[in-house]
Amino acid sequence: MLWLVFLYISRHVKLGVKSMADEQEIMCKLESIKEIRNKTLQMEKIKSRLKAEFEALESEERHLKEYKQEMDLLLQEKMAHVEELRLIHADINVMENTIKQSENDLNKLLESTRRLHDEYKPLKEHVDALRMTLGLQRLPDLCEEEEKLSLERACHVTSKFTEMHPYALCAKPRAGPGTPKSQNVSRMNEERENKWSSAAHNSFS
């Protein structure tokens, strides 16, 4: 459109220029038209660049939003693993103390077993002596009656089990009441307490 105006003015200049003042006015108008055209082209280029920059800005905003969402998910996963590790350490702590307590109970039972053996041995010797006076055979020893009643076997099993679990000797302090426990730990504790109560009851009977 500007070129048509330029051609029209040029033709008008060639055909109808009558004075120097008119010619200068026309030249000024031509220069203005040329400047308008150059500035308009410059504006179009800047406008095109602005459009590209806005598109890049919107794209980068979308990417930033996705990055933040991914970071939130990673932080949630991290906290879940931290909590899982905390629970595992708490269960290990409880299990170490449970093993230590179980070994203490095992030693108490072993001591009680030795004491019962010490009480049984002189009674059996006295009974065997009385039976011999009557011409009767002596009674069989405990290990002859049943292998599991042998004191040597009980000591061997106890020492072997203790050697297999040396880490129980350096257990941490017992966890507080708010510490979570696994179901296996609780079940083992209940079974151990029931056996200890039963053994104590039988020793007093």
Question: Which value, in Å, is the radius of gyration of the alpha carbons in the chain?
Answer: 51
Angle between helices 20-133 and 151-164 (to 10 degrees): 170
73-116, pLDDT tens digit by residue?
999 999 999 999 999 999 999 999 999 999 999 889 888 888 88
How many other C-beta atoms can be found within 10 angstroms of the C-beta atom of residue 112? 14
Q: Give the pLDDT confidence score for residue 44 in this predicted structure.
A: 93
User: Do residues 182 and 98 make contact, with C-beta atoms less than 8 angstroms apart?
Assistant: no
Nearest of 162, 161, 141 to residue 151 by alpha carbon: 141
Nearest of 193, 183, 164 to residue 91 by alpha carbon: 183
140-166, pLDDT tens digit by residue?
877 776 655 666 655 665 565 555 554
* Mean pLDDT, range 157-186, rounded to an integer: 48
> Rounded to whole angstroms, how far apart are CA atoms 107 and 192?
13
> Rounded to whole angstroms, how far apart are CA atoms 10 and 26?
9
pTM recorded for the entire structure: 0.47
